[in-house]
Amino acid sequence: MSDPSGQQRPRPQYGEYATPEEQRARIRQPDPAFAVTPETVPAAAAPASVPPTAPAGRASAVKAMSGPRLADRIITFGLLGYGLFTVLGSIPAATDYAQFASTFLGVFGVDQELADPAGARGWGLAAALVLGIGWVATFGLSWMSVRARRISFWIPLVGGIVFNMVSSVLLVVPLMSDPAVWSALQDALTAQVG
């Protein structure tokens, strides 16, 4: 190789310009000048026993659990705890659908009752089941994501939104199916808005 002035440049020392064939030949025949023999190893470099790896393991675990990852885990499990509290509080309300409907309609000032409260109980049980299964699925996905050291706080948020929406739709179906209740509820909502 030469530079523009015509002078010869020195060959590279570390083989960065070596062809693949030259690299393979060099790997098969290492340079004996760099070989380490037992006589040349300093006594301090050759440990008598293997040091325990527990402190390094603990240090790496502490490092992995610090900063944004630790905050993500705290937020993730905090949201899961809040979700569990909400689900456990919602299940009894959803299973007693007649009481739920009475409270729900009372909030809007509707003095109407369902024509078939016993028939609506199945919708409440379905909503409770969706909430319970949804929380378990959300917990499982969050746990796998946290163990894989990925950002996970969004999983309980999305799970809570999705499963609460599905549960809410299931709880509103019996109210919409009863024409007298639905008409009274629409009138109450129109009066509050207008």
Predicted pLDDT of residue 108: 86
pLDDT tens-digit map of 147-160: 999 999 999 999 99
Q: Cβ–Cβ contacts within 10 Å for residue 76, how many?
A: 22
pLDDT tens-digit map of 90-104: 888 888 888 888 888
Domain boundaries, given as residue ranges, for the chain: 67-193
pLDDT at 11 over 70: no
pLDDT at 116 over 60: yes
pLDDT tens-digit map of 33-76: 666 666 666 655 555 555 555 555 555 555 555 678 899 999 99
Predicted pLDDT of residue 47: 55
Mean pLDDT on 102-121: 87
Q: Which residues pair with 8 in a beta bridge?
A: 2
Q: Which residues pair with 2 in a beta bridge?
A: 8
Between the two ends of the chain, the Cα-to-Cα distance in Å is 87
DSSP string, the chain: -B-TTSPBPPPPSS-TT--HHHHHHHHHS--GGG---GGGS-TTTS-SSPPPSHHHHHHHHHHHTSTHHHHHHHHHHHHHHHHHHHHHHHHHHHHSHHHHHHHHHHHTT-----S-HHHHHHHHHHHHHHHHHHHHHHHHHHHHHHHTT---THHHHHHHHHHHHHHHHHHHHHHHHSHHHHHHHHHHHHHHH-
pLDDT tens-digit map of 21-40: 877 787 877 666 666 666 66
Predicted pLDDT of residue 3: 61
In total, the chain counts a number of residues equal to 194
Contact 114, 185 (CB under 8 A): no
pLDDT tens-digit map of 74-89: 999 999 999 999 999 9
Q: Give the C-alpha distances (Å, rounded to integers) separating 37 from 40, 47, 48, 56, 128.
A: 5, 16, 18, 29, 72
CA-to-CA distance for 192 and 189, rounded, in angstroms? Answer: 5
What is the token pair recorded at 188? 């109450």
CA-to-CA distance for 14 and 81, rounded, in angstroms? Answer: 57
